[in-house]
């Protein structure tokens, strides 16, 4: 964040306004260039975006959503900017009052989306931040081991590289070759590499490299059976597929709002 940027609290608090947003029905008639009216085109609901023109793409751009940065629909952007403008009317009153309290509603709705309790969910800026919070919140000693894969996104891998350098933790890498689709084979590879010093399993829900949906529930169960912590990078899952963290059985799940959820940039959930 730069000096002239909004604080994280103020920025994330805009989600409170977004969570309460409701779209007004569009008019049944539209004016043409001559000033006369004609029946408006039927607008098909697509989440918060009601039509392709609710995205603010450059003319002629065909946007292929690849899970890097999702396009924020116009209604969401309008609500975000509106909340920011409201904040600036009286930064202290709104920033530490109405908009701050609105974050509780955001947390509650986000928790419901992931099927966890509100007090179990933390708002973050992105998946990477959530992964770092988890990794840096654990206590390691030299020789402890973290079991992960060779297909992790750098944003979910960097936190473990850090603890390896700082604490002498060993990273054990499970290979997942391109084209792999055998869930049991993946679980078996993890099982073969567990050691008495393994503390953490860290893996993605959907691999950013291949799109493979990992056997999260089975890997989480295996981690628990060995007294390990299961940490899931869910950046590519939430908004694209249904995610129930209780059914998955993991200990921690980090995701981003600005990928498949099409939320404002710089938002995430842990």
Write down the pLDDT at residue 63.
87
170 phi/psi in degrees, rounded to 5: -100, 130
In a shared domain, residues 105 and 128: no
Express each pLDDT in 102-151 by its tens digit: 999 999 999 999 999 999 999 999 999 999 999 999 999 999 999 999 99
Task: Compute the CA torsion angle 255, 258, 261, 267 (nearest 10 deg).
Answer: 60
In a shared domain, residues 94 and 175: no
Express each pLDDT in 246-261 by its tens digit: 999 999 999 999 999 9
Write down the pLDDT at residue 66.
84
In a shared domain, residues 131 and 198: yes
- Quick one: what percent of the chain has pLDDT higher than 70? 81
In a shared domain, residues 101 and 213: no
Among 116, 132, 153, residue at a domain's last position: 116
- Quick one: what percent of the chain has pLDDT higher than 90? 73
Task: Compute the CA torsion angle 41, 45, 47, 49 (nearest 10 deg).
Answer: 10
Cβ of 20: how many Cβ atoms within 10 Å? 12
Express each pLDDT in 185-199 by its tens digit: 999 999 999 999 999
- In this prediction, residue 53 has a pLDDT band, given cuts at 50, 70 and 90, of confident
Q: Show the domain range for 224.
A: 123-269
Residue 186's CATH number:
3.40.640.10
Q: Which of the two residues, 204 and 26, has the higher pLDDT score? A: 204
In a shared domain, residues 183 and 93: no
Name the domain count of the chain.
Answer: 2
Among 100, 116, 132, residue at a domain's last position: 116
Kindly report the pTM of this predicted structure.
0.81
In a shared domain, residues 145 and 219: yes
- In this prediction, residue 12 has a pLDDT band, given cuts at 50, 70 and 90, of very low
Is residue 247 assigned to a domain?
A: yes
In a shared domain, residues 133 and 262: yes
- In this prediction, residue 47 has a pLDDT band, given cuts at 50, 70 and 90, of low
Among 116, 138, 168, residue at a domain's last position: 116
């Amino acid at each position: 964040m730069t000096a002239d940027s909004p604080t994280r609290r103020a920025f994330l608090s805009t989600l409170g306004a977004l969570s309460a947003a409701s779209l007004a029905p569009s008019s049944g008639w539209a004016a043409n260039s001559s000033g006369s009216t004609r029946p408006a085109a039927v607008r098909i609901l697509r989440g918060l975006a009601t039509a392709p023109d609710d995205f603010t793409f450059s003319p002629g751009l065909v946007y292929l959503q690849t899970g890097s940065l999702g396009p924020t629909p116009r209604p969401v952007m309008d609500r975000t900017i509106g909340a920011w403008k409201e904040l600036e009317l009286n930064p202290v009153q709104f920033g530490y009052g109405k908009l701050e309290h609105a974050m509780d509603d955001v947390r509650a709705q986000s928790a419901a989306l992931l099927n966890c309790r509100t007090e179990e969910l933390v708002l973050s800026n992105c998946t990477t931040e959530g992964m770092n919070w988890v990794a840096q919140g654990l206590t390691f000693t030299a020789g402890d081991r973290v079991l992960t894969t060779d297909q992790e996104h750098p944003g979910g891998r960097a936190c473990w590289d850090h603890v390896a350098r700082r604490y002498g933790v060993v990273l054990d890498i499970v290979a997942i070759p391109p084209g792999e689709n055998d869930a049991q084979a993946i679980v078996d590879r993890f099982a073969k590499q567990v050691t008495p010093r393994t503390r953490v399993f860290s893996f993605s829900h959907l691999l950013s490299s291949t799109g493979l949906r990992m056997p999260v529930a089975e890997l989480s169960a295996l981690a628990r059976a060995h007294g390990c912590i299961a940490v899931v990078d869910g950046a590519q899952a939430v908004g694209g597929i249904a995610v129930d963290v209780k059914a998955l059985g993991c200990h921690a799940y980090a995701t981003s709002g600005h990928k498949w959820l099409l939320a404002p940039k710089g938002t995430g959930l842990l």
